[in-house]
Structure 1
């Protein structure tokens, strides 16, 4: 029995020494750097997309690299105000909501406007500044099919904050919807500018 213990003593001592060395290395290993988990785009995403869980993935960022307003949860179902690149962190300014108007000053409101030229509207991006014009109908109904009245600027150099995509499941209307950052007087002028199909745009 003593002979057997004598033979095992050296391998056991070596095993215990190796385990002690491993624990010492673990103790000396530096702790992982601090990080903050936020949501980022899982792929390139277009403006106006209604976010789904598969569009986003969690990423860990150093605290100093986390953008202001970064979203950490509950983003599914929200609508993107602008396009996003894969891996880009999602912030409150990227989705349709009150944060869209951040930086525009007090008294600014989000004003939806339906533009007559859907093809031209597709060229717009959030941040573009535009003029909105309306064409007055001729006073003589007989001339309505021959010519249009003079164009009139309704609002000038207003920024685009969102370009929602067409609603394929909703009513099919002519033109396309955009959202502008305006003051209340401009919003009232746009609301009273006449039929939506009389509106055109000029990109600045």
Structure 2
């Protein structure tokens, strides 16, 4: 009779243990299926943006899953109105520090690099560019007839931004230049016209 009692107690304990383990398994499964409600809110483009000066209506807050936001992303409350967008953005694309003209845009370049706006005579060639491209800048007289070659005044300079420009006078681009190159570019475009060719990126 003692053996039967022991077996009964052992069986009961096993049933209780099995029930506890089953409850734990169900709880773990429920936790695993529960949607992750945590998120990080960032500023994104409210519409397709061509570049140029931003307004407050150009940025909207959007919640992203943790780990999906890019480095340097701008959070709600960051002022963007009046700042210059470095290049075109698609609707829903997050704003980051390097997408806006300012000190952060030059952070990846050598100390002393300056953002230099120049106007090139051929807007069609400028439309082929994107921020990060490297270009060579050529200068020629305003009345250039092609009888003499244009002179190179800056080689392998990086395009920082392509601001929207409706002046109809060529195309405006912003380059990462040395102070010496910036002075040469300013002098050349004051009395002539500038053109560009694509350059291989320096490694």
TM-score (norm 1): 0.69
Deviations 1:41-96 (A, max 9, x none): 22322233x32333222112344333222112222332211222222211111112
Distance 2:144 2:37 in 1: 70
Deviations 1:131-167 (A, max 9, x none): 1001257xxxxxx686543311000111111111114
SS at match of 1:88: coil
Aligned to 1:153: 152
Q: Which runs of 5+ in 2 are unaligned?
A: 1-29
Deviations 1:94-135 (A, max 9, x none): 112222112112111101111111222222221111110012
CA contact (8 A) 1:108 1:183 kept: yes
1:45 aligns with 2:40: no
Aligned to 2:3: none
Deviation at 1:31, TM superposition (A): 10
CA contact (8 A) 1:81 1:161 kept: yes
Aligned to 2:193: 198
1:71 aligns with 2:82: no
Q: What is the count of residue pairs matched by the alignment?
A: 166
Aligned to 2:172: 177
CA contact (8 A) 1:45 1:86 kept: yes
TM-score (norm 2): 0.70
1:145 and 1:166, CA in 2 relative to 1: closer, same or farther beyond 3 A? closer
Q: Which runs of 5+ in 1 are unaligned?
A: 1-27, 138-143
SS at match of 2:85: coil
CA contact (8 A) 1:136 1:150 kept: no
Distance 1:145 1:180 in 2: 24
SS at match of 2:154: strand
CA contact (8 A) 2:54 2:80 kept: yes
Distance 1:89 1:55 in 2: 11
Distance 2:65 2:191 in 1: 48
CA contact (8 A) 1:133 1:155 kept: yes
